[in-house]
Structures are given as C-alpha cells and as structure tokens.
Amino acid sequence: MYLVNVLLFVGGLLLLVKGADIFVGSSSWIAKRYGVSEFIIGLTLVSIGTSVPELASSLTASFEQANGIVIGNVLGSNIANIGLVVSTAALLSNVKTEELMLRRDGYIMLFSAFLFLLFILDFRISRIEALIFLLLYVAYLLFLLDKVKKHDEDIYFIDFMNYFFKFEYIFDLKTRIESGVRGRIEEKRIKEKVTESSEETERKTKAEEEIGAKNKTGNKIRTDNESRTGNKIRTDNESRTGNEIRTDYESRTDNESRTDNESRTETENEIENEVKNPYESSLLKEFLKLVAGVLAIIIGARYFIEQSIFFAQLLEVPETLIGISLVAIGTSLPELMVTVSAARSGYASIAIGNVIGSNITNTLLILGCSGLVHPLTLTKISVYYITPFMLFISLLLILFIRTGWRIKRFEGLILFLLYSGFMIFIFHFG
C-alpha cells in the first residue's frame, strides 16, 4: 500500500548521498582548473565532505519549517556517528587513537555540544545563535588551516578559544582573501607579459622574413645583371638555358618551401586541437557531472524529507523521532561506509577523526545554516532526553579515546549497546 512512499524515501536517500559525492568531486576539479586556491576549496567543499547529505536534508527541512526533522537529524547523526559508526570500527578491530585527536578536535566537539545545550534552554535557536555557530565553524577551519600551514601540531583547545574571542580569524580571512586577489592579479600580469613577449617575437620573425625576402630579390636582380654582362661572351642560347635552369630550380624551391610550411602549420594545428580538445571535453564532462550532482541533491533531499514527514504523520510520532532515526541513520551512511572500509584496511583511526569532525560540522555548520534560514524550535524530548544523551555519549567517547590511547572491542560494544538501548527507550517513551 505504501510501497511508492518507501521507494521514494529510499530513492531520495540514494540520490542525496550519490549526488553529494559527485558534487564535491566535480566542484573541486572545476575550482582547481579555474585557479581557485586550495584554501577556498578546503574551506568550502572538502571540509563539508560526508556531511553534505545532512546539510542538504536539514536545509530542505528548514525551508519546510519541519524543525523536528532538522533537530532530530543533527542530534541523531551525532549520536549515530558515535554509537553506530565508532562502535562498528572498534568491533571490527581495536582503534588506535592519539592525543592530538583529543586536545584539538575532541574538546571542540564537546564545547559545541555544551554550547548547543546552553542555547536551547529556552527551547529555540534564534538567528543570532545560529550566526554564532557559523562564526565558530569558520574560525575552527581557519584555525586548523593556520596550524597546518605552520606545521604546528602543538595545538590545544585554549589556543582555539583565544583565536576565536580575539577575532584573529577575521584578520586571517581578510589576509588570505587579499593574498589570493594579489596572486590572481600577479598571475594575470605575468600571462599578459608572456602574451606581449610572444607577439613581439612573432612580429620580429615576420620582419626578418620580409627583410630576407627583399635581400633575396635584390640578389636575384644583381645576379641577373651580372649574368647578362657575362652573356656577351657566352652565346644567347647558353644564357637562356642557364636562366631557365635557375628559374626552374627557384620555382621548385619556393613551391617546396610553401608546401613544407603549410604542412607544418597543419600539423601544429592538429597538435593544438589534440591538446585543447581533451581539456574542453573534460571541463564539459565535469560541468555536466556538477549539474547532475546538484540536481540529485535537490531532488533527493526533497523526496527524502517529504517522505520522512509523511511517515511521521502516518505513524503518528513526532518529527523529531523520525529525524533521529530514519533521517539520521540514512544520512550517516557515508560515514559508516567510510569507517567499515577504513577499518578493513587497517586505518580505522582515520574514521574516528572523520566522526569527530563530522559532529563538529553537524552542530556548528548545519544548525547554523538551518537556523539562519528559519529560527528553530525544540520539543521537550529534544531538550530533556536527546541532547543530554548526546553529551553523555560524547563524553564517553572522549574517555575511551584516553584509555590506553585506543578504543577496544568491548568499548565499541558498550557504545553500540548504549545506542541501541537509547533508540528503544526514545521510541517507547517518546
């Protein structure tokens, strides 16, 4: 009876996830091709990464004023990233952790979660509070980029707090933008100089060819005069025969020269076309992929959210519960797939860093953007149950990271059981 709705829900999710992957890859390629700096690409595209499905679905829900879906998606994704994704990585193999993972990103994740709790005490997130989230996210990215540029791994949470409250990120962003503009202007100036130099060289070459042609004509005239003077001694027949031979030789030489030049010109044009065509073909291909990715995200997010709201109304459950379960688990699939692949390859620790970064992005970027579109209101279940559990499981993750600097299998099992128990509790009492 509801098969069409199920298919639209699943199809929307698949379009959303695949479209996000295509969008990030193609937009990064095009941006690099047009000379956009690595800084801008990293700040906008790569940093969002696997959080694009959460961002697209939350923005769509925000435009629909489905606040429960937005809040449930963000909180549910943060909880699922720890209780489902991290636990899966730990169950597959013990996950090695390191202090940098904790003192830099781990504490910022906790800080953003506590700040979220502080903001929702009045059961709403205003546009000003959403803007604070966004400023924190931009500052976080600029802070990391600055440390990476300086090859500085001695990073502490207090350093980020000083960086943020002293507004250093504003000056840093201004400096980077100005530097990028100057770099583009200098690059343009160099290209213009190269073009002018090439044109000047071409003009000189043409002038030399014209002078050579004139000298050649003068030499022919002098040679002809000398020949006629000498012909007074020689017979007229010999003179005519010699002139015919020279004329025939010069004619053949000129024809061969013109043919050779035309052949070289055609060859150069063919080579130039061979060089240009792959670039134009690749650019067109990536542009079409970019458009397809954007359309897939828009269409996928629309159907995914519409069917989520439909099922919430059908089952007569709050939108928040649908957001924390179906929507959150669905949009967390990219992180889960990356984690399983990394764990099997022996790089599970990378997945832990991805989860922490994703939770920071979910709280600061996604709530920031969604709250700017439309102020968010929260239900009692979100404030009294879901948010405290998110804080609890986040603190537990920090504790497990510190214990022997690895997350053991039994710790992964604890996280998974807590997640499963919480989902059963929230649906039973929610």
Count of domains for the chain: 2
Last residue of one domain, picked from the residues 207, 228, 249:
249
Q: Are 196 and 331 in a shared domain?
A: no
Alpha carbon distance 140, 146 (integer Å): 10
pLDDT number for residue 31: 76
12-35 average pLDDT score: 82
Q: Are 287 and 31 in contact (CB under 8 A)?
A: no
Q: Are 335 and 358 in contact (CB under 8 A)?
A: yes
Q: Are 324 and 369 in a shared domain?
A: yes
| CATH number of the domain encompassing residue 362 | 1.20.1420.30
DSSP letter (8 states) at residue 93: S
The predicted-structure confidence for 175-194, as pLDDT tens digits, reads as follows: 766 665 565 566 667 766 66
pLDDT at 424 over 70: yes
Which of residues 234 and 395 earns the better pLDDT score? Answer: 395
The predicted-structure confidence for 57-115, as pLDDT tens digits, reads as follows: 999 999 988 999 999 999 999 999 999 999 998 998 888 888 878 887 899 999 999 99
Last residue of one domain, picked from the residues 199, 234, 249:
249
Strand partners for 407:
95
Alpha carbon distance 394, 47 (integer Å): 21
Q: Are 284 and 243 in a shared domain?
A: no
Give domain status of residue 36, yes or no. yes
Q: Are 186 and 174 in a shared domain?
A: no
In the numeric block, which tokens belong to residue 182? 């100057």
Q: Are 36 and 12 in a shared domain?
A: yes
Q: Are 228 and 377 in a shared domain?
A: no
Q: Are 412 and 91 in contact (CB under 8 A)?
A: yes
pLDDT at 127 over 80: yes
Percent of the chain whose predicted confidence (pLDDT) is above 70: 72
**Residue 332 phi, psi (nearest 5):** -90, 0
Q: Are 210 and 121 in a shared domain?
A: no
pLDDT at 121 over 90: yes
Q: Are 301 and 24 in contact (CB under 8 A)?
A: no
Q: Are 69 and 323 in contact (CB under 8 A)?
A: yes
The CA distances from residue 419 to 36, 147, 416, 424, in Å, are 42, 35, 5, 9
The predicted-structure confidence for 216-250, as pLDDT tens digits, reads as follows: 665 555 655 555 555 554 555 555 455 554 555 55
Task: Give residue 72's domain range.
Answer: 3-178+279-429
Q: Return the half-sphere exposure (C-beta side, CA atoms, 13 A cut-off) of residue 177.
A: 6
Last residue of one domain, picked from the residues 228, 249, 270:
249
CA neighbor of 387 nearest in space, from 112, 27, 171: 112
The predicted-structure confidence for 298-344, as pLDDT tens digits, reads as follows: 899 989 988 988 988 888 888 899 999 989 988 888 778 777 777 77
pLDDT number for residue 400: 94
Strand partners for 124:
377
185-207 average pLDDT score: 70
Q: Are 225 and 135 in a shared domain?
A: no
Q: Are 167 and 193 in a shared domain?
A: no
Alpha carbon distance 155, 148 (integer Å): 10
Ranked by mean pLDDT, which of 158-167, 169-178, 259-268 comes out on top? 158-167
pLDDT at 133 over 90: yes
CB neighbours of residue 48 within 10 Å = 18
Least confident span in 32-41, 203-212, 409-418: 32-41
Give domain status of residue 254, yes or no. no
Which of residues 104 and 13 earns the better pLDDT score? Answer: 13
In the numeric block, which tokens belong to residue 241? 């025969």
Give domain status of residue 262, yes or no. no
Question: Helix-strand-coil percent breakdown of the chain, rounded to 5?
Answer: 90, 0, 10
Give domain status of residue 255, yes or no. no
Give domain status of residue 404, yes or no. yes
DSSP, collapsed to helix, strand or coil, labels residue 407 as strand
Q: Are 234 and 375 in a shared domain?
A: no
Give domain status of residue 271, yes or no. no
Give domain status of residue 270, yes or no. no
pLDDT number for residue 271: 44
Q: Are 143 and 209 in a shared domain?
A: no
Q: Are 331 and 53 in contact (CB under 8 A)?
A: yes
Give domain status of residue 82, yes or no. yes
Q: Are 103 and 210 in a shared domain?
A: no
Alpha carbon distance 301, 307 (integer Å): 10
